Amino acid sequence: MKNQYTTLTGSKNNAGDFLIKYRAKQLFKELRSDREIIDFNAWEKFDKEKLQTVNESKALVLLGGPSLQKNMRPNIYKMSENLDDIKVPIIAMGIGWKSRIGNWEDTYNYPLSEASIELLERINNSGYLSSVRDYHTLNSIRFKGFKNFLMTGCPAYYDLGFMGKEYQSPSINKVAFSLGVAFIHSSSLEKLMKENILACKKQFEDKKFEVVFHHSLDKDKFLSTHGATSTHSQRHNEFAKWLEEQNINYVDISGSAENLMNYYSEVDLHIGYRVHAHIFMNSISKFSILISEDGRAKGVKVVIGGIVLDSFTRFKNDFFSKVLNRLLKSYDKFEANKYLTKEILSNIEYEKKVDFVQIKNSRNQIDNNFEVMKQFMRQLP
C-alpha cells in the first residue's frame, strides 16, 4: 500500500467544482503532507488500472459537490458495479445534498436509492469519520442512521492565508453579479434576475459592474457539465445577448479554479446566485450577498451565516403543478420573491452602517469550522 489517497472529483466545466478540488488539494498539502493525491473523474467507471491504483491507496476519498443525491451511485460515482472490488476505506469529504426547495424538513426523509444507501453504509462503516459541507446534509444522513460524519464545511471555504485574520472593511470599486440557473425554467425568476441586475447596475453606476457566467457560453464546453442540456446553453446565450442589449458587461470564468479565484480576488462586492462565488468571497473576507435558488444556498446560510436572500417564496411541486409543467412549456412552478431587489439594496446600505458585521461573523464561523475540518483530516488513514 502506497502513501497516497485516490480522490474522485466532479469538475468538468463549472468554475465552482474546480475551486473545490483546488482548495481540497491545498488542505491535503498543509494538513496531510504525508500523502500524495491521485485524482480521478467521478463520472468515469474504474478500469483495471484505476482499480489497482485505488486499492494501492490508503483510502478512496469522494470529494465535494452536491453529490448526495438519490442516485449518487452510479449517476455521480460510477466506480465499480461491485463495491467489494474496492478493498480500501471509502471516505466522503465535503459532500452536499441537492434539494430544489431546501427546507429543513426536507432533510427528515431525503430520498436515496438502494445503491446509494449501500455506498453510504460502506462509507459509514469504513472505520473513519467522513465529512459533509452543511448541516442540512448532515441531518439527511443522520436520519438514515449514519452517524460517522462531521460537518466540516466545503473545502472551498478554507484559504489558509486568511484563517484567523481580522476582517478589513472594504472600499467598493468593482461589483460582480453571478447568474443563477433556475431562470432557465422560470419566466418569473428570469424577470426578477434582470430586475436585480438593472437595479444593481444603477446603484453602482459610478463603479465597475459586470455579470459573471460560471458555466461556459461555448455550447460544446457547456454540454460537458453535469446535467447540462442544449436548452441550458441556449438560455445562457440568450441572457448574454440581453446583457449586450442593455450595454452591461459580462465575463465567462468557467473551466478552472484559477479563473474563479483570479476574477473574484479583484471584486469588492459579489451579488448573485453562485454558491461558490459566495464561498470564495467569504473565504478571503470579502463582501458577498448570496441569492438562494435551492438547498445548497440555504445550507450555506446555516453554516456561516452572512447574507443569503430567497429568490422565490414558493415552489409548486404538487401533482397538479407537475402535470401542468409537463404539458405546458410556459408553466412556471416558481413564485418569485417580489421584494428581493429592495432587499439586496437595503442589505448593502445596512452593512455599511454597521461596519459589515454579518461579514465579520461569517469570517469567525469559517475559522471555527476549520477546527472541525482539521479534526477530520488528521484522523484519515
Per-residue pLDDT reduced to its tens digit, 237-271? 999 999 999 999 999 998 888 999 999 999 999 99
Residues in the chain: 381
What is the three-state SS of 199-234? Answer: HHHHHCCCCEEEEEECCCCCHHHHCCCCCCCHHHHH
Which pTM does this prediction carry? 0.92
Strand bridging mode 59-63 / 90-93: parallel
Q: Which amino acid is at 182?
A: A
Per-residue pLDDT reduced to its tens digit, 21-57? 999 999 999 999 999 999 999 999 999 999 999 999 9
Per-residue pLDDT reduced to its tens digit, 118-139? 999 999 999 999 999 999 999 9
pLDDT at 227 > cutoff 60: no
Per-residue pLDDT reduced to its tens digit, 189-199? 999 999 999 99
The Cα angle at residue 16 between residues 11 and 21, in degrees rounded to 5: 55
Nearest Cα to 135, choosing from 102, 112, 157, 158?
102
CA pseudo-torsion sign 217, 221, 227, 233: positive
Q: Could you give the angle at which helices 187-203 and 230-245 cross, rounded to 10 degrees?
A: 30
Give the torsion through C-alpha atoms of 189, 193, 196, 201, to 10 deg: -170
**What integer pLDDT is reported at residue 226 of this predicted model?**
52
Q: Which amino acid is at 332?
A: D
223 pLDDT band (50/70/90 cuts)? low
Q: What are phi and psi of 140, to 5 degrees?
A: -60, -40
Percent of the residues in the chain that have a pLDDT greater than 90, as a whole number: 78
